[in-house]
Amino acid sequence: MRLLAAFLALVALAAASPAPAASPFADWATVVVAGDWHAHSGGPSEAFDNARRDVTAALEGAGFAAANLRQFSVRPELYKDARPGKSDIQTIYDGLDEVASRATGGCLIYFSSHGAPQGVVIDQQILPPGVLATMLDHSCGARPTVVVISACFSGVFVPALAKPNRMVLTAARPDRTSFGCGEADKYPYFDDCFLHSMGGAREFISLAHAVQACVAAREIKEGMEPPSEPQLFIGGALKPLLPLYSLATGPPRGN
């Protein structure tokens, strides 16, 4: 009887205890894209797919639901465990639209690829800023939206994507390259800094500033010039809300 009474007391205590708070990102639609598999030399590189894989894991650790997250790779057949979709502009749009139709809390889109002054490379095609802006308008609308673009010249996206409900973080100015896309690099520098900074960031604003500082320090250390100068835009309607979206991160990742 004493054992039964103790068991019932534990059951009552568990029932009375408040349930763990749901992540503020549990109902966000999330897309992570590796847009190429070549180094800047033209040789093979896993840098972009490494970033896709580990950014996905870091976002899940921060509270983004795996059920609402879609990954895309140029060579999806090589990554059967993750089962990414094929990196194609229409396929990415369809995936974003599908998941955003049921995960309506917000949107996060992350690209890791090469870039050009005209846009970001998606499997030998260019995704221009205006096309991405249209994709976001149709799929995410006025929801809180975070866009991260790790690519050379990616600052070109800021004017087209800048809206009151959006945050845009890019790896470089519109007229600058970014670094770390060699055959031996595990990640591009920006992605490496994003992963390292996730562990100490409480929300996206502090994360963005930490990534900017990390990239600047890494480029100085490696002697890379001119500096890429990652760009940050935060819309006026989203800025006061971002501190409320807490990143429940684990330990830092990366090199």
Strands (E), the chain: 28-34, 69-73, 85-86, 106-112, 115-116, 119-122, 125-127, 145-150, 166-170, 231-234
Give pLDDT, residue 114: 97
State yes or no: pLDDT of 252 exceeds 70. no
For the chain, what percent of residues have pLDDT higher than 70?
A: 89
Give pLDDT, residue 185: 92
Give pLDDT, residue 22: 79
**List of domains in the chain:** 24-244 (3.40.50.1460)
Give pLDDT, residue 249: 60
User: 88 φ, ψ to 5°?
Assistant: -145, 140
pTM for this predicted structure: 0.90
Q: pLDDT of 85-120, one tens digit each?
A: 999 999 999 999 999 999 999 999 999 999 999 999
Give pLDDT, residue 248: 76
Q: Find the mean pLDDT for residues 24-32.
A: 97
For the chain, what percent of residues have pLDDT higher than 90?
A: 84
Q: pLDDT of 135-164, one tens digit each?
A: 999 999 999 999 999 999 999 999 999 999
Q: pLDDT of 214-239, one tens digit each?
A: 999 999 999 999 999 999 999 999 99
Give pLDDT, residue 21: 56
State yes or no: pLDDT of 241 exceeds 80. yes
Measured over all CA atoms, what is the biggest interatomic distance in the chain, rounded to whole angstroms?
76
- In the structure encoding, which two tokens stand for residue 246, read together? 């807490």
Residue with tokens 């470089």: 172
Give pLDDT, residue 255: 53
Q: How far is CA 238 from CA 76, 91, 168, 244, in A?
A: 34, 28, 11, 10
User: 244 φ, ψ to 5°?
Assistant: -80, -15
